[in-house]
Amino acid sequence: MLISVEELKKNNPSLHNSVTTALIQYLEDLDGEDPCNLYEKVISEIEKPLLSTVMNHYENNQSKAASCLGINRGTLRKKLKQYEI
């Protein structure tokens, strides 16, 4: 089911709607060009601020941040290094 940006804006703001709106806009901005590695791009664009925000919230306590994220601390450390956080 296709949803317009206007319809999304009318709904209550949510992470789902924000991501959908951003993706619709991104694809429209490509002006007919096919995106390359879109999945990887989206994951990296979302994952870095997610990790940063959670780490800030838990005052850089990796155990608490990993628990909140539902990943183990080793995975969190690997991702923090990957994104240079």
- 23 & 40 share domain: no
- Res. 67: pLDDT tops 90: yes
The whole-number pLDDT of residue 14 equals: 82
Residues 43 and 19 in one domain: no
Residue 7 belongs to what domain range?
Answer: 1-35
Same domain, 43 and 84: yes
Whether residue 49 is found in the same domain as residue 81: yes
Rounded distance between C-alpha atoms, residue 60 and residue 65, angstroms: 8
Q: How far apart are CA 51 and CA 35, in angstroms?
A: 25
Q: What is the pLDDT of residues 10-62, one digit of tens each?
A: 666 688 888 888 999 999 999 989 999 999 999 999 999 999 999 999 999 99
47 and 75 share a domain? yes
* Number of domains within the chain: 2
- Residues 22-53 as b or e (16 or more Cβ within 10 Å = b): eeeeeeeeeeeeeeeeeeeeeeeeeebeebee
Structural contact between residues 65 and 76, judged by C-beta atoms closer than 8 angstroms = yes
Q: Residue 5: its pLDDT value, please?
A: 62
